[in-house]
Amino acid sequence: MIALSFTEIAEAVGGRLLLGDGDAAPSDVVSGAVETDSREIGPGGVFVARHGETTDGHLFAPSAIERGAALLIVERPLELSVTQIVVDDATVALGLLAAEVVRRVRAAGVLRIVAVTGSNGKTTTKNLLREILSRRAETIAPRESFNNEVGAPLTMLKLTWETEFLVAEMGASGIGEIRRLVGMARPDVGIVLTVGLAHAGEFGGIESTLIAKTEMVADLLPDDTAVLNADDFRVAGMAESTAAKVLWFGRGPQADVRASDVSVDSTGTRFTLHAPGETPRDVHFSVLGEHHVTNALAAAAASLTLGVPLDTIVEALESVTRAERWRMEVLPGLDTVVINDAYNASPDSMAAALKTLAVLAPEAKRTVAVLGEMSELGDLSAEEHDSIGRLVVRLNIGQLIVVGEGAKRIHMAAELEGSWDGESEWYATADEAYDRLESSLRSGDLVLVKSSNSAGLRFLGDRLGELVACKHF
């Protein structure tokens, strides 16, 4: 975090300053990292003691002090020797502090902010933007999927006076959440990727999802740029809800930044990248899955808006070998390959991953789909899991392994479909599925592991990756 005094931080968060023992003074400066996890605290850091989903951060304040915390932001005074700022809501205070840091760094005249949201592809697009923009100047971007009311401000608080680009990933589970994040760091460039069924259960339906995602561009100014997906009719409609300039990306001819001649094989995706006023460039994008072309186009469009040359964009795209840990991550073995894509799953991303598996089928002796639950679908859950089971059959996947009670309808729907040469099996646990796969995998198999994070199949994917790395089948 940029250096701020105790008084400045207290004023920013609207809190009451309680000086610690010793020589502490209101003018003392703090410049260490801000964290909500006491295990991440380092010397001179700020520990924000918030109530999490399962525990109370105040219980870990002593541990934060042992690790060197210089300041605690708390919701009640603690009998500890370190300086504290008492606030009504630590999570709100975290956001207020982030907004103040962004305001000060932006006022220095260098910082540009690009934010991305969408039902699918946020983290991949964020990673691509970081790879592209960091080739030009100091860039701050979230780690993993730090995109909520806690993760987003923690990323913003890593700004320095030298930072020229801030990439903000903005997720939401309800209306108003993206608007709050935009209020902390109003983007110069706002990207909307897709509006789909991911988290539809939490939002209450696709129309509520659309309202929430529109918040990314609703408050942009005329000098800002909304980067919108021309291939998604819901996203395309957001052009009527923003005062910003619109730059379109997509696969169709109507897009400003588009891809043509797209082809997929086991080494990734090849396409020709078109941009206004530029000679088309051929791109070999190593990230597996044709659906990731959309993310590459979004990152390219935003980067062009921020003044990055197209050649730099292409070089950066071609340097990326995976979207993210557990996202279409290829784990090659001695004679069998595992694709671990079990960090997130929605009906759209599940279908895209299965279609990629089917496209790669000619390169494999057999395709195997290991599928778990798609979470947070609410009343749509049964219908969407049924749809995925039918899709497996239509794509003629060779073997279907379904794991967990929440995903059982995928197995049931597949078995009810006729004219399929493959077969489906259901297992209650990942361990049972692993035991079955250990004994049934064949030489040349191509295995996809796909589920929502909560299903835990990413660890099954890792175990299968370790297995195929050392065993001939």
The answer to the question of whether 118 is labelled as a binding residue is yes
Helix residue spans in 320-450 (DSSP H): 347-359, 381-394, 408-416, 430-440
CB distance 460 to 468 below 8 Å = no
- For residue 141, the SS3 value is coil
Q: What is the DSSP string of 423-441?
A: EEEEESSHHHHHHHHHHH-
The answer to the question of whether 213 is labelled as a binding residue is no
In one letter, which amino acid is 282?
Answer: D
Half-sphere exposure of 353 (CA within 13 A, CB side): 33
The answer to the question of whether 229 is labelled as a binding residue is no
* Tokens at 377, concatenated: 């679908």
| Kind and range of the H or E run holding 401 | strand 399-403
* Tokens at 47, concatenated: 């520990």
Instruction: Tell how strand 337-341 and strand 34-35 pair up.
Output: unpaired
- Region label for 277, one of left (φ > 0), alpha (ψ between -120 and 50) or beta (otherwise): left
> Among 55, 62, 89, 59, which Cα is nearest to 73's?
89
The answer to the question of whether 122 is labelled as a binding residue is yes
The answer to the question of whether 453 is labelled as a binding residue is no
In one letter, which amino acid is 91?
Answer: T
> Among 118, 102, 243, 109, which Cα is nearest to 186's?
102
Q: How far apart are CA 204 and CA 380, in angstroms?
A: 10
CB within 8 Å of 145: residues ≥ 6 apart: 122, 123, 151, 169, 171, 343, 344
Neighbours of 187 (CB within 10 A): 28
| Kind and range of the H or E run holding 165 | strand 165-169
Q: How far apart are CA 241 and CA 372, in angstroms?
A: 37
Phi, psi of 343 (to 5 degrees): -95, -40
CB distance 142 to 166 below 8 Å = no
CB distance 249 to 227 below 8 Å = yes
Binding residues: 118-124
Binding residues for ATP: 118-124
